[in-house]
Amino acid sequence: MTTNNRANFGSKLGVILASAGSAVGLGNIWRFPYMTGEHGGAAFILVYLGCVLLFGAPIMMAEFLIGRRSQSNTARAYQKLAPGTPWRWVGRMGVLAGFLILSYYSVVAGWTLEYICAAGLGHFADKAPADFVNFYNSFVGHPWLPVVWAAVFLLITHLIVVKGVEKGIERSSKLMMPLLFILLLILAICSVLLPGAGQGIEFLLKPDFSKVDSNVLLSAMGQAFFSLSLGMGCLCTYASYFKPDTNLPKTAFSVAIIDTSVAILAGFIIFPAAFAVGIQPDQGPGLLFVTLPNVFQQAFGGVPFIAALLAVMFYILLALAALTSTISLHEVVTAYLHEEFNLTRSKAARLVTGGCLVLGMLCSLSLGLGKDYTLFGMTLFDLFDFVTAKLMLPLGGLFIALFTGWFLNKKIVREELTNRGTLHLRIYGLIIFLLKFVAPIGIAFVFINELKLL
Ligand code: PHE
């Protein structure tokens, strides 16, 4: 058994903020806005909220209870709770998903480092909106610069993971999360006040349901799983560090609310600003990196020092938010290799970092030099995003819901969700209903609908 000496998070707030630290990241501030932009705005957001409530929150509770009960890495968790059954493949698929996500996520995380430097060195001063588009395109298409930044980001993640992260994650999350929230709020206010912002606000608030097709459903569902770090054992691993008195349903709701608020706030920063400066909302992955420097320029350009300072602060916080997520992704794979293959922790971490570096390099190149090489009509970068967020995570979520709703002993489920009967949980029946029926049928429905179209 490798469960002795398992570390615990120190406080209830620490538990919530560390889990929120894994959840809040590029998914909220980079991926959510461009997905919303590509899928028509408010209608996408409503479908997304539905997915968070009906699938996300209950599946997060399920991951929490599996992790805390088993006190293990995600692959071993299923082996412990369901010995000798194929359920262990759910854990293994999660580990693979984590590895693939980390590879392309590090590339985007690396972009934030370039933007910190560019903003800090004053490269954004006096630039017109079109210049930011060019800056982004020439940077992302550069043959080696983004690869170097991705490597730097992976290296930082590596060093933290090797050191062991319990205290580090908890302490840094406590400081960073509130700071990020305040800065996002300030930026959202600036963006909404820009002349011509009204169209962007309307885009966020006025749903056009004619835009909702099966692709929107799949994208919103994938985004919910990605943003909440669900379906691949990340929160399951964190929950193995929870104390027996951690209130699992309450923690899950808090994390879901924090995560969703950050995403919506990011929307209120990006779209009003994008419309104000005439940038199309369906730009894809470049949206955040093109519109935000514009917000700083337009709102504070008169005082270049303030504009640069705010930009640097924002990209530092974005990098840190990404870092708490990359740590959680790296930790899932490292813990698995370390515990299941008897490798030392540092050797396991080296393998993960090395593997991600190679895949990340290919992903990055696929946006520039290798643009013309596609698989199933997608660049490698898009393919990784599609396979993980839209296939592996929802599929993982489906199995987690089935495992908890149907397979796992009801006594265990009740004990964990109510802390052995000490919590009065009025919505217990509802949670079980969602896990047993709504989440599995809903996820299966979205898959089937999409596959019919293929
Ligand atoms: N939730 C993280 C984000 O939004 C990404 C992530 C996905 C992290 C899956 C861990 C597991 O940026």
What is the distance in A from the centroid of ligand 1 to the CA of 224? 10
pLDDT in tens, 191-244: 899 899 999 999 999 998 888 888 899 999 999 999 999 999 999 988 988 889
Ligand 1 neighbourhood includes 389 CB (under 6 angstroms): no
Dihedrals phi, psi of 224, to nearest 5 degrees: -60, -45
The dihedral over CA atoms of 125, 126, 128, 131, expressed in degrees to the nearest 10, equals -60
What is the distance in A from the centroid of ligand 1 to the CA of 223? 10
What is the distance in A from the centroid of ligand 1 to the CA of 122? 31
Query: Are the C-beta atoms of 366 and 380 separated by less than 8 Å?
Result: yes
- Regions of the chain where pLDDT drops below 50: 1-4
| Residue 263 belongs to a domain | yes
Ligand 1 neighbourhood includes 260 CB (under 6 angstroms): no
Give me the CATH number covering residue 130: 1.10.4160.10
| Residue 68 belongs to a domain | yes
pLDDT of residue 10: 67
What is the distance in A from the centroid of ligand 1 to the CA of 124? 29
Q: Can you tell me the distance from the alpha carbon of 115 to that of 98, in angstroms, rounded to the nearest whole number? A: 26
| Residue 442 belongs to a domain | yes
pLDDT of residue 2: 40
One DSSP character per residue, 345-379 reads HHHHHHHHHHHHHHHHHHHHHTTTTTTT--BTTB-
What is the distance in A from the centroid of ligand 1 to the CA of 222? 11
Q: Which of helix, strand or coil describes residue 231?
A: coil
Ligand 1 neighbourhood includes 325 CB (under 6 angstroms): yes
Q: Which of helix, strand or coil describes residue 306?
A: helix
One DSSP character per residue, 69-114 reads HHTS-HHHHHHHHSTTSTTHHHHHHHHHHHHHHHHHHHHHHHHHHH
pLDDT of residue 15: 79
Instruction: Give the N- to C-terminal CA distance of the chain in Å, as an integer.
Output: 46
- Which atom of ligand 1 is closest in space to residue 228's alpha carbon? 1
| Residue 1 belongs to a domain | no
Query: Are the C-beta atoms of 399 and 90 separated by less than 8 Å?
Result: yes
| Residue 7 belongs to a domain | no
Q: Which of 81, 56, 77 minimizes the C-alpha distance to 67? A: 77
Mutate which of 19, 22, 327 for ligand 1 pocket (most atoms within 8 A of beta carbon): 22
| Residue 325 belongs to a domain | yes
Q: Which of helix, strand or coil describes residue 195?
A: coil
pLDDT of residue 241: 83
Q: Can you tell me the distance from the alpha carbon of 426 to that of 120, in angstroms, rounded to the nearest whole number? A: 51
Ligand 1 neighbourhood includes 226 CB (under 6 angstroms): yes
Can you state the angle between helices 74-81 and 88-120, rounded to 10 degrees?
A: 160
Ligand 1 neighbourhood includes 64 CB (under 6 angstroms): no
Ligand 1 neighbourhood includes 310 CB (under 6 angstroms): no
Closest residue by Cα to atom 9, ligand 1, is: 229
Q: Can you tell me the distance from the alpha carbon of 340 to that of 112, in angstroms, rounded to the nearest whole number? A: 34
272: its two tokens: 């009003």
AA identity, residue 430: L
| Residue 6 belongs to a domain | no
Q: CA triplet 397, 403, 405: central angle to 5 degrees?
A: 95
- What is the pTM (predicted TM-score) of this model? 0.94
pLDDT of residue 4: 43
Q: Can you tell me the distance from the alpha carbon of 244 to that of 253, in angstroms, rounded to the nearest whole number? A: 18
Ligand 1 neighbourhood includes 334 CB (under 6 angstroms): no
Lookup result for tokens 């999350």 = 173
Residue 307: which H helix or E strand, with range?
helix 304-340
| C-alpha 94, offset from chain centre | 14
| Residue 67 belongs to a domain | yes
Q: Would residue 188 be called left, alpha or beta, if left means φ above 0 and alpha means ψ between -120 and 50 degrees?
A: alpha
Counting the structural domains of the chain, the total is 1
pLDDT of residue 138: 94
Domain that holds residue 333: 12-450
Q: Can you tell me the distance from the alpha carbon of 413 to that of 388, in angstroms, rounded to the nearest whole number? A: 28
